[in-house]
Structure 1
Amino acid sequence: MPIKNKILPLEELLYVIKKDEHSHEEIKTLLNKHPQIKFVSLAGLDLRGNATDERIPIELMLEDLEDFLRLGIQTDGSSVVLHNIATLNDAKVIILPDIDCNWYVDYNFSNIDVNTGLPIGTLVIPSFLIHNNKMVCSRSILKKSIKRFKKECKNILNENPHLKEELGIKSEDEIKEIHMTSATELEFWVQTPEDKADEEKLSTSQTLKEQYWKRTEGTVRTAMEKALLMMSKYGFEPEMGHKEVGGVRSTISVTGTQNHIMEQLEIDWKYSDSMQCADNEHFIKQLVMDVFNNHGLEVTFLAKPIEGVAGSGEHTHIGIMAELQNGKKVNVFSHKDFDKRYMSSIGFASLMGILKNYEVINPFVTSTNDALNRLKPGFEAPICIVSSIGHTADFPSRNRSILIGLIKDMENPFATRFELRAPNPNSNTYLVLATCYQSILDGVETICPKLSLDEIEKEFSKEAGEEGYYLEKDRQYRSEEDVFEHYNQAQRNSLFGTPPSTVYENVRALDDYPEKLEVLLKADVFTKPIIDSYKTATIDIWSNELKGRIIEDNMTLIRNLTKIHDDEISDLDIVNWNRLNLLKWDLMKDSVDKKSLFTLLREAIYEEDFAKASEYQILMNEKIKELKILYSNYKKNLF
């Protein structure tokens, strides 16, 4: 058996097999050279972003490598989220390896190979899910959107000399290829197991900004440093790890160990091409979780794990480059007059495409109860469909209150990109990017061949009520103000649209905006069966979580809000208790002639009256929030 705490020779491990190393000879050579890699796992991403995970002995892969990579493996589709596609009587799904991406080795540092003294590794191959000869997974949708975007964007540039002129490209120069880059970042909470959050302490610490960018300490520091070092081993090129705004100071026990750890962290890494970006993010989340778990810390990627405290976002960056036949590359969002123009026509049209079609993008960005809990005013939450590009072209700003903004480095035109602020760590990045690319292309195809740059910029900056060639008349799409301070809620809803309050309201947009849905369906990037499957799965998960978890958690909360006053009470204590007790009954207690709100919500779900269930959920959330405030005020007045 290996000696505990033995220092392992990490430099001897194979961490990645790059996409240009996928010849059969190279694969066999690498795997034979690293016998600690005992298994292979084909990671196919379903429509919810869940990856398949298996342990297939590596010998089976190597016995017939050609057929393994060509045919993949079969599985029962009922185990993945492909509602209405992989059914009980038609469940066969093939998991097909993708040979055009990096493969990573996932090491189990708790399982040491007795022959090599190295941790057992599993080769993780990002894969596609195929049902009835059709690709039906998240990765395949992104792949199709990338292929279409590259072809159409290249044609638009080559066929419109005025667009190339804006970018400083000579009219005779041909575009060879379009490169699509993206990057995400990872925010997450860590805590010691079994510790419960004190919402008031966390909220106070956040208000006082006691944690943001502060020095990490103890176990958290060690785990974060190890995670960054491991990311470097895999070639992810980490750029930064730091404390985020949420958290409270830990305590030191009499034995010198840290207790009551509850901190929010962020880790960033370098951008890559779109598919690799999504693959990298998926693997990095597992890597971070493993490292922190090995140090006795729980990790959560929930968007809003603690009510009343900052949630975790995952801002998604989108950039587009054009490569000329002579090898020169240009950023298609950057105008040649970089300090005089905000961006190019294609840049403006891209933003307009996302903003106009965001109602059908949002169901893929925000698909859970947890995600919607984060998107509330007051926490820099991007709930309004509005953009910001800076006060002047040479004065780039970072407006943290808007949905999507222009990121511009005056020293580096290649860095011009867009930052979509709404996604969270559990958003399906594959589908987020695919919907954005479809929407960007809609704006570029519709606007750029027809309007001049000045006309496009004028429309982008129009006021609500002004007619537009592409954008909707009654909406405003640009604001350089803090949208939460400058406008009240009624104004925000009027100018930027009313944001959805529940998952059901959000996913209903796929039915309520058929003309915008058509943008996603172009060239069969998304298909109607895929959209139907995604809607069904999202509503199914939302409703089951409501009845099986959220209502149950709220019942536990109510049962714990007990009467704690004794004889030393005032009339106010009695009034406070009676008010909150009545609210507890209204939420949870049935009588002969009246059903509680929880019962009404459950019945609406059982009857599949999801519109009514959505209304009850909104009411329940309001009452639970009121109940917490009442109980806090009740306790504060007691000795």
Structure 2
Amino acid sequence: MPCSCKTPEDVLRVCKENRVKFIRLWFTDVLGSLKSFAIPFEELETALYEGMGFDGSSVKGFARIDESDMVALPDPATFQLLPWRSGEEKVGRMFCDILNPDGTPFEGDPRYVLKRNLKRLAEKGYTFYVGPELEFFYFKSDKEPVPLDRGGYFDLTTLDAASDLRRDTIRTLEEMGIRVEYSHHEVAYSQHEIDLRYADALTMADNVMTYRIVVKEIAQKYGVYATFMPKPIMGINGSGMHTHQSLFRGDTNAFFDPHDPYFLSDVAKKYIAGILRYAREIALVTNQWVNSYKRLVPGYEAPVYICWARRNRSALVRVPMYKPGKEKATRIEVRHPDPACNPYLAFAVMLAAGMAGVEGNYELPEPVERDVYHMSPEERKALGIESLPGSLKEAIDCALESKLLRETLGEHVFTYLIESKLVEWDEYRVVVHPYEIERYLPIL
């Protein structure tokens, strides 16, 4: 059964009862890579109350070598046993908040960035809930993208080679207290989706990090490789992280209005308007890799054009209508993030964009219920429909001019993210790709 710890004492008791020998302390760097170090049970009490020191200069985006001392303070509420490390000596894990030596929050910690933005939201009386749909691929190895099957959307049995992998993954997630709504084969060959039940944004960001490592661990157990790379194969759909989101005041859904034709409150409409207004500026966080922009092209179900709709999946923001008029189910779906983002930062910037719309009383344009992909440029211009950045470099340029992004991330994370992405772009643009050899070498 999942652990339900709240205090350091709870963690110590559960570890004693389960004969836990090692505890892994987890956190992420600025780019969203999971970092971990292990401590023996004998050090657990010290870690829970005082934290554990480590060298922050060795973690991307954290600290310079002359200010490298950092402290990882475990969050007791995140303690879970690792199901894939079973045996006589069990292993547990906790997510950590990263602190400076004086005990203050470290501004380069992505978890702190999200917590800081959620605190501002709480002061306004809201709770932010999210429910991401993470897509991913299974391949035969990490050397080349060779699919396991030729299945498509919702295919069964022989066309779906990974139903056992998904089942074991779901069991593992549920053993760790992470609720799953459903799973299925996705559109592309060997592409899959496991949808998480909605939760508050901080819990969900922790869950996304856990989800990604569980998917990879179970895949490795079966001798295959799982990847969250946005676009690993040319000519078929890439992987997205469609993110359902809503604001609640207590038990009341602030996005719901029973008298509106779309069942959307004014808060929801302004929130959507904010997402649309800032989509280009926050793309560097929601879609942070060179490869992300290979997915964001017309024709493969990924959103490219900045508009909203109800049932139209070519729109950037969609209002799902599975249960129209049901208050708890009313939400919006932001479709452009991909599953290789840093979830702490992605949730923070989407929230900030939406709340800018609420606080600025932004007006929501009319929904676009036509296939935007097949509109002419003139039609899109007439409707005021802009496009997401077409490359990582364009996303960097949009981010550089964004006051909202700088304030949301904080100066430390914003500066490192820009610097890191400029390096990535420079490394990418000087590479001679196979396309260029095949296209130009025979004729030039």
Tell me the TM-score normalised to structure 2 length: 0.90
Q: Which residue does 2:401 correspond to in 1?
A: 512
Cα displacement (A) at 1:500: 2.0
Which residue number in structure 2 is paired with residue 187 of structure 1? Answer: 135
Q: How is 1:409-420 mapped onto 2 (pairs within 5 angstroms)? A: 409-420=323-334
Shift of 1:245: 1.0
Asked whether the equivalents of residues 74 and 97 of structure 2 are also in contact (C-alpha less than 8 Å), the reply is: yes
Structure 2 stretches of 5 or more lacking a match?
Answer: none
Give yes or no for the alignment of 1:481 onto 2:370.
Answer: yes
1:175-194 deviation line (CA, Å, top 9, x unaligned): xxx33211112211112237
Q: In structure 2, which of residues 146, 149, 165 is the aligned counterpart of residue 223 of structure 1?
A: 165
Once residues 198 and 107 of structure 1 are traced to their aligned partners in structure 2, the CA distance between those partners, rounded to angstroms, is 29
2:93 is aligned to 124
Q: Secondary structure at the match of 2:127?
A: strand
Following superposition, the deviation at residue 507 of structure 1 comes to 1.4
1:502 has 2:391 as partner:
yes
Aligned partner of 2:270 in structure 1 is: 349
Q: Is the CA contact 1:216–1:243 (under 8 Å) kept in the aligned structure 2?
A: no
1:105 partner amino acid: L
Q: Distance in 1 between matches of 2:307 and 2:346?
A: 17
Which residue does 1:433 correspond to in 2? 347
Q: Spell out, residue by residue over 1:48-75, the C-alpha distance to the aligned partner (whole angstroms, 9 max, x if none).
A: 11222112112221xxx1x422331222
Superposition pairs of residues 158-177 of structure 1, within 5 angstroms: none
The letter of the residue matching 1:215 is L
Question: What's the secondary structure of 1:431's corresponding residue?
Answer: helix
Shift of 1:491: 4.7
Report SS of the residue matched to 2:64: coil
Deviation of 1:382 after TM superposition, in Å, equals 0.8
Aligned counterpart, 2:294: 373
Report the alpha carbon displacement of residue 244 of structure 1 after superposing the two structures with TM: 0.7
* Per-residue deviation, 1:350: 0.7
Deviation at 1:510, TM superposition (A): 2.2
CA contact (8 A) 1:45 1:127 kept: no
Q: Indicate if the aligned counterparts of 2:57 and 2:65 stay in contact, CA closer than 8 A.
A: yes
Q: How far apart in 2 are the matches of 1:145 and 1:57?
A: 34
Distance 2:304 2:297 in 1: 7
Compared with structure 1, are the counterparts of its residues 286 and 342 closer, same or farther at alpha carbon in structure 2 (3 Å cutoff)? same
Asked if 2 retains the 8 angstrom alpha-carbon contact of 1:224 and 1:292, the reply is no
| Larger-gyration structure (1/2) | 1
CA distance in 1, matches of 2:224, 2:138: 6
CA distance in 2 between partners of 1:30 and 1:537 (Å): 41
Partner of 2:412 in structure 1? Answer: 529
Q: Output the CA distance in 1 between the equivalents of 2:424 and 2:100.
A: 22
> CA separation of 1:96/1:510 partners in 2, compared to 1, >3 Å: closer, same or farther?
same
1:105 aligns with 2:81: yes
Q: Which runs of 4+ in 1 moved over 4 A?
A: 194-199
Q: State the alpha-carbon separation in 2 of the partners of residues 194 and 365 from structure 1.
A: 24
1:93 to partner: Cα distance = 2.3
Contact 1:193 1:298 in 2 (8 A): yes
- Counterpart of 1:168 in structure 2 is none
Find the counterpart in structure 2 of residue 275 from structure 1.
202
- Residue 121 to residue 411, structure 1, CA distance change in 2 (3 Å): farther
Counterpart residue number, 1:539: 422
Question: Does structure 1 conserve the Cα–Cα contact (< 8 Å) formed by 2:312 and 2:368?
Answer: no
Aligned-partner SS, 1:245? coil
Q: 1:238–1:303: structure 2 CA closer, same or farther, 3 Å change rule? A: same
| One-letter amino acid of the structure 2 residue matched with residue 535 of structure 1 | I
- Mapped pair 1:42 → 2:25: yes
1:147 aligns with 2:119: yes
CA contact (8 A) 2:113 2:410 kept: no
Q: Give percent identity, aligned residues only.
A: 24
Aligned-pair distance for 1:79? 2.2
> Quick one: structure 1 residues 534 and 28, their matched pair in 2 at CA, closer, same or farther if it must change by over 3 Å?
same
Residue 333 in structure 1 maps to residue 255 in structure 2: yes
Aligned partner of residue 582 in structure 1, secondary structure? coil
CA change 1:292–1:55 in 2 (3 A) is same
Change (3 A) 1:531 1:482: same
Q: Which amino acid aligns with 1:434?
A: A
Letter in 2 for 1:79: S
Pair 222,45 (structure 1): closer, same or farther in 2 beyond 3 Å:
same
Distance in 2 (alpha carbons) for counterparts of 1:148 and 1:511: 24
Counterpart residue type for residue 75 of structure 1: F
CA distance in 2, matches of 1:106, 1:229: 12
Q: CA deviation at 1:541?
A: 3.1
- Which digits, 9 at most, give the CA deviation of each residue in 1:367-426, with x for residues without a partner? 1011111001110121112111x3xxxxxxx21101112224225221111111011111
**Aligned counterpart for 2:47 among listed residues 58, 61, 68:** 68
1:80 has 2:22 as partner: no
Following TM superposition, by how much is the alpha carbon of 1:520 offset from its aligned partner in structure 2, in angstroms?
A: 4.2
TM value normalised by structure 1: 0.64
CA offsets per residue over residues 122-151 of structure 1, 9 Å max, x none?
A: 322111223464422111111011110121
CA distance, structure 1, for counterparts of residue 415 and residue 206 of structure 2: 25
Q: Distance in 2 between matches of 1:479 and 1:501?
A: 21
**CA root-mean-square deviation:** 2.7
Q: Structure 1 pair 146/309, CA: closer, same or farther in 2 (3 Å)?
A: same
Query: Secondary structure of 1:94's partner?
Result: strand
| Residues 3, 176 of structure 2: 8 Å contact kept | no
C-alpha separation between the residues in 2 aligned to 1:211 and 1:78?
A: 45
